[in-house]
Amino acid sequence: MTQLFQSVPEWQEFKKTISGKTLGFVPTMGALHEGHLALMKKSMTENDLTAVSIFVNPTQFNDPNDLTHYPRTPKEDFALLESIGVPYLISPEISELYPDQYRYQVSEKEESKILCGAHRPGHFDGVLTIVLKLLNLTQADRAYFGEKDFQQLRLIQGMAKAFFIPTEIIACPTLREQDGLAMSSRNRRLTPEQRKLAATFPKVLREAKTPEKAIQDLRTQGFDIDYIEEHWGRRLGAVKLGAVRLIDNV
C-alpha cells in the first residue's frame, strides 16, 4: 500500500520514524508515465525507501492557461504508484507548500534566463523554489531528475551545490516512445495527428546539420519554434504543436 501524506507536519513527524533508512525521492507534477516510473524504479533499487511527490506547482507556470490545462490524473497516478510498490506519496495542497504565499523565492541569474527561461519568464524561479522546499521537506538521501528537462536538471544541480544541499542529485536518461518522442505528461494533450507529427521533433533535432536548419525543417512541417540552440555540448529545443509545448535535447 502506498501511504499518502497531504500535510507537511504529518510527513515531518513520520520522517523521524524512518531515520535509519536511506530515502530516495522523485518529485513530479503527476500525469505519470513510464519515464517517471523509471526514475522511481531506480530510486527503489538504490535506496531502502522511496517517496514520490505529486504537486502541480503553480509558481512555475508563467501562462495561467497552461496551468489550467496541465493534465491531472490523480486516480491513475495512485494506481501506478501502488502497482510498482512505491511506499510514500507526498501530495499536499498549495497552502501547505506555500505558507509564505511565495514571498520567498530562489532565483538564479544566468543559466535560468536563456532557452526555456527566456520564453517562460519566472519559470525557473518557481522550479528552484519548489524543489528546494521539497528537498528540505523530504530530507532525502538522493533525488532523481530526468535529462529531458536538461536545463532544469543543471539548475537544480547548481542550486544543490550553491546551497550545500546534502541530497545527492541523480540525473537519469530520457525515456522515449518507440518512434523517438521523449516521454512527457504533455504528450497526452496532443491530437492523434499532432502526436504522429511530434516524432519529427527529436529526429530533426538529432539529424539537422545546424540549429538554423533544424528550425527551418521543423517550421516547414508545421511546428512553431520557441528555440533550437546548442549549449553544454547538447542541442536543445522547445517547439509548439497547437497549444502543446514540447521540449527535448540530444
36 is catalytic: yes
Rule CB under 6 A: say whether 2 interacts with ligand PAF.
no
Per CB under 6 A, 238 contacts ligand PAF: no
Q: For ligand PAF, which residue of 24, 25, 27, 170 counts as binding (CB under 6 A)?
A: 27
Residue 29 interacting with ligand PAF (CB under 6 A): yes
| The three grid cell numbers given for residue 245, joined into one nine-digit string | 509545448
What's the CA angle centered on 235, arms 233 and 239, to 5 degrees? 155
Question: Which is the catalytic residue, given 33, 36, 119, 123?
Answer: 36
Task: Tell me if 92 contacts ligand PAF by CB under 6 A.
Answer: no
CA dihedral 184, 186, 188, 193 (to 10 degrees): -100
Nearer of residues 13 and 76 to ligand PAF, judged by Cβ: 76
Could you tell me the strand order of the sheet in which 244-249 lies? 224-231, 234-241, 244-249
Binder of ligand PAF out of 149, 159, 160, 244 (CB under 6 A): 149
Q: Smallest gap, in angstroms, from Cβ of residue 225 to ligand PAF?
A: 22
Angle at 25 between CA 23 and CA 29, to 5 degrees: 160
Among residues 71 and 87, whose Cβ is nearest to ligand PAF? 71
Residue 96 interacts with ligand PAF (CB under 6 A)? no
Distance CA 54, CA 29 (A): 5
Under the binding rule (CB under 6 A), the answer on residue 174 touching ligand PAF is no
Residue 183, all three cell numbers: 516521454
Query: How many residues are there in the chain?
Result: 250
Cβ of residue 14: shortest distance to ligand PAF, in angstroms? 21
Residues in 101-140 at the binding interface with ligand PAF, rule: CB under 6 A: 127, 130-131
26 counts as binding ligand PAF under rule CB under 6 A:
no
57 scored as a contact of ligand PAF (CB under 6 A): yes
Q: Which residues bind ligand PAF (CB under 6 A)?
A: 27-29, 57, 60, 127, 130-131, 149, 152
Q: Active-site residues: which are they?
A: 36
